[in-house]
């Protein structure tokens, strides 16, 4: 049992928040310090309790959406004061687990036990990306969000019965890609449909990223970073997306900026280069990287938008900005 120095916030719907895992957590944590959330309303209610009790540390159990949901709920009850957000320990109990992969090399229960034996762990302060008043570690507009939207649609229709296990891991995304996203792109190419984007710098300074993450060309306020054909645009403050994909290898290089990556590589070519894209070593003359503070991304037609791995609907214009030093994370690696 604990003395109330920290709390546990668990997503009751998360893939790995099983009765067995919950039972083992209850052996370590007082029941009064465990908060179960099954709906967005639960997140807001528990955030108020966590804020009122002034916990210095809160562990989250779930995926990236769980972490992001709690961060934004805590920020809301604190009146937008990011300094009031407790230090967060991210337990890997979801599916993609992008954030937990950066701060943990062991399992969720191992991290929790390690902190109980030594609460003075390494703390890592990171920036987050802000969109319409909410904070996120990463997002994307275009093909990556298309795959996500196709995945959720196919999961809803096919992800039951004997096919359910396939849609509980990365294999479901490959099914969505080959079954829906790729055929759509082939059809659009045959019809001559061209997707274009205009990306404008709205911050004080932006830079093109050169070899090894070096800053090269400078862009001032109002300058166009890129205009032309596009397959996807991704951005964020963390290098890793779900399942360990290192899609933004320099995202945490500058604490006051985020990385924006624009790709015009056709999907078929991207698939061939998937291993390099996965480990962050992909290089291509149709891949464009920037350090930015704030940008406007305007597409020629509405496209799926994903934020923190959740589908956010169709958008043709998106503005995002970096929020430096937004949250403190316990690090176990």
Sorted by where each starts, the structural domains of the chain and their CATH numbers stand as 6-120 (3.40.50.10330), 138-322 (2.60.200.40)
Cα Rg of the chain (Å, integer): 20
Residue 155 CB: number of other CB atoms within 10 A?
18
Cα angle at 128 between 91 and 252, to 5 degrees?
A: 90
Q: Are 68 and 137 in contact (CB under 8 A)?
A: yes
- N-term to C-term CA, the chain: 25
d(CA 209, CA 260): 9
* Tens-level pLDDT at each residue, the chain (333 residues): 344 589 999 998 887 888 898 899 999 999 999 999 988 789 899 999 999 999 999 999 888 889 999 999 999 998 876 677 899 999 988 777 888 888 886 788 888 998 998 887 789 999 999 999 999 999 999 888 888 887 777 777 766 666 666 666 666 777 777 777 777 877 777 787 789 999 999 999 999 999 999 999 999 999 999 999 999 999 999 998 877 789 999 999 999 999 999 999 987 787 788 788 888 898 899 999 999 999 999 999 999 999 998 889 999 999 999 999 999 999 987
Q: How many CA atoms lie within 13 A of 32 on its CB side?
A: 7
């Amino acid at each position: 049992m604990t003395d109330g120095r920290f709390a546990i916030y668990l997503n009751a719907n998360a893939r790995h928040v099983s009765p067995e895992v919950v039972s083992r957590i209850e052996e370590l944590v007082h029941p009064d310090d465990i908060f179960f959330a099954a709906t967005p309303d639960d997140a807001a209610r528990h955030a108020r309790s966590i804020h009122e009790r002034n916990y210095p540390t809160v562990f989250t159990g779930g995926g990236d959406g769980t972490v992001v949901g709690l961060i934004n709920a805590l920020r809301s009850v604190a009146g937008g004061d990011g300094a009031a957000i407790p230090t967060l320990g991210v337990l890997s109990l979801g599916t993609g687990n992008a954030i937990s992969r950066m701060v943990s090399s062991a399992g969720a229960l191992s991290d929790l036990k390690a902190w109980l034996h030594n609460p003075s762990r390494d703390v890592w302060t990171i920036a987050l990306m802000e969109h319409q008043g909410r904070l996120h570690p990463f997002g994307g507009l275009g093909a990556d969000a298309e795959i996500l939207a196709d995945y959720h649609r196919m999961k809803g229709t096919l992800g039951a019965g004997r096919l359910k296990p396939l849609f509980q891991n990365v294999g479901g995304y490959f099914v969505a890609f080959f079954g829906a996203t790729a055929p759509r792109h082939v059809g659009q190419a045959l019809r001559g449909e061209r997707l274009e984007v205009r990306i404008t710098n709205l911050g004080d300074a932006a830079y093109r990223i050169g070899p090894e993450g070096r800053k090269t060309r400078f862009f001032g306020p109002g300058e166009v970073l890129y205009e032309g054909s596009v397959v996807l645009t991704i951005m964020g403050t963390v290098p890793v997306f779900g399942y360990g994909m290192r899609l933004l290898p320099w995202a945490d290089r500058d604490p006051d900026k985020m990385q924006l990556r624009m790709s015009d590589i056709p999907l078929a070519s991207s698939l061939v280069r998937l291993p390099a894209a996965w480990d962050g070593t992909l290089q291509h003359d149709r891949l464009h990287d920037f350090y930015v503070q704030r940008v406007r991304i305007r597409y020629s037609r509405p496209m799926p938008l994903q934020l923190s791995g959740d589908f956010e609907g169709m958008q043709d214009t998106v503005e995002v900005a970096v929020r430096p030093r937004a949250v403190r994370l316990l690090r176990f690696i």
